[in-house]
Amino acid sequence: MKLSLLIILLVAIVIGDVGFARNQDAKIFSILALTKTKEERNQIANAGIAIDKVYSDSVGFIGTEKEIKQLKALGFELKIADLSQRKRDFPAGDSSFHNYKEVGEALDAIVSQNPEIAQRFSIGKSLEGRDLAGIRISGSSKRDSLPTVIFMGCHHAREHLSVEVPLKIAEYLAQNYQRDARVKNLVDTREILIVPMVNPDGAEYDINNGEYKWWRKNRRPNTDGTFGVDLNRNYGTGFAGAGSSSSPASDTYHGPSAFSEPETQAVRDWVRGRRKTTVLLSFHTFSELVLWPFGHTNDQVPSKIDQEVFEMMGKKMATWNKYTPQKSSDLYLAAGDTTDWAYDELKIFAFTFELTPDSMFAGGFYPGASAIEPTFKANIEPALYLIERAENPYAVLKNQQDPLGLIP
């Protein structure tokens, strides 16, 4: 009797845990699926899995028992490591990362110390009502008439380093305005708009209770009881196509319709309203890549000239940060991302950087606070280059003898 009661209790605990885990805190694994071809990578992306890293013989991603079963059923050979022991404390161990409140305070500090060149703005509210805060850096009061460059971070919750780098770019520009002639000239002749945390609800969820949750999406309650829409699959170009999932439980769930989420609606309406925007950079982590459109199709962008501009700018930036430059869909297809939409609809030269580290084994989404400074340093020159190029991205084509500008 006692034993059977114990068994019933144990079963109830296990079932209860699994039931709870489905939506919130499932046991999390780092998974390598052995792959040889891009077709196999696309097959995995199309299974609704958010691939984090493409290796020569495999792809890496974060998943639960569900994804393991799914890929085994598809015949993939897997290497699996349990990550449950590797959760870290964001506020304590990684306290120099900025949570939502601290991002707001950091923006306020830049504005109060540099009121002549910095102003705060908001592009809207998140699903849970948090401010989607930005900072405008410009030495000119002439709004909407200067070449405009946009930096964004943290479409994906667990990619905390993608908050730090745009925030540090804002600080760098403000701090060096008076002491660096190049920075002063750029700030005086450009409008630089930075939104470091596009997904504050997800970012806050990922660190609540002092434990990383490996959360990627926003916090939309889906109709089936799961949570979250992948904001970087929710944009309009190629919506619901390859590499995005129609399953709400998936990490790459594209949402019920294009721009269904307040965060992507806010980005869309704001970018549409900034008519002088010529370049945009959306920071993500990790893998050390410089990516450009398209991601939703294997096709090149329709304009051969634009394709050349993307390639030249992407490769030039990679000379500084040493990341791998490539067209996004050369990795695997992923539909509905920011950069495909920004280029497709608005002809903005839009890039994605997958920041440090280069692999899951080097820290993945949680590389530790010591990664912040070197990652910023590796990417300040690419950022300044984009700000420079914002005046006329096509100027990179002028010197065909030295298309990458490598000859001093």
Which parts of this chain interact with Zn ion (CB under 5 A)?
156, 159, 284
Q: CB burial class (10 A; 0-12, 13-18, 19+) of residue 77?
A: exposed
Residue 269's φ and ψ, nearest 5 degrees, are: -65, -35
Least Å from the CB of residue 199 to Zn ion:
10
Structure tokens at 390: 């914002």
Q: Which is nearer to Zn ion, 98 or 190 (CB)?
A: 98
Cα distances (angstroms) measured from residue 340 to each of 167, 253, 345, 361, 362: 24, 17, 8, 29, 29
Instruction: For residues 405 and 312, give the distance between their C-alpha atoms in angstroms, rounded to a whole number.
Output: 9
Q: Which is nearer to Zn ion, 53 or 284 (CB)?
A: 284
Least Å from the CB of residue 161 to Zn ion:
11
Q: Which is nearer to Zn ion, 254 or 389 (CB)?
A: 254
- 128 noted as active-site residue: no
Least Å from the CB of residue 394 to Zn ion:
29
Instruction: For residues 6 and 9, give the distance between their C-alpha atoms in angstroms, rounded to a whole number.
Output: 5
Q: Which is nearer to Zn ion, 40 or 354 (CB)?
A: 354
Cα distances (angstroms) measured from residue 227 to each of 22, 155, 371: 10, 16, 30
Q: Which is nearer to Zn ion, 118 or 163 (CB)?
A: 163
Least Å from the CB of residue 52 to Zn ion:
8
| CA atoms within 13 Å, Cβ hemisphere of 274 | 26
Least Å from the CB of residue 195 to Zn ion:
15
| CA atoms within 13 Å, Cβ hemisphere of 243 | 28
Cα distances (angstroms) measured from residue 367 to each of 95, 96, 181, 201, 244: 13, 12, 34, 21, 26
Least Å from the CB of residue 155 to Zn ion:
6
Q: CA quadruple 160, 167, 229, 252: dihedral positive or negative? A: negative
Q: Which is nearer to Zn ion, 45 or 173 (CB)?
A: 45
Q: Which is nearer to Zn ion, 137 or 378 (CB)?
A: 378
Least Å from the CB of residue 365 to Zn ion:
9
Active-site residue, selected from the candidate residues 354, 373, 388, 391: 354
> Which residues, 6 or more positions from 117, have their beta carbon under 8 angstroms from its beta carbon?
137, 138, 139, 173, 174, 177, 187
Name all contacts of 1-6 with Cβ < 8 Å and 24+ positions apart. none
Q: Which is nearer to Zn ion, 186 or 334 (CB)?
A: 334
Strand partners, 62: 30
Structure tokens at 346: 């608005």
- Helix, strand, coil abundance in the chain, percent, nearest 5: 40, 20, 40
DSSP letters spanning 361-386 = GGTTT---GGGHHHHHHHHHHHHHHH
Least Å from the CB of residue 160 to Zn ion:
11
Structure tokens at 357: 């580290």
Q: What amino acid positions are annotated as catalytic residues?
A: 354
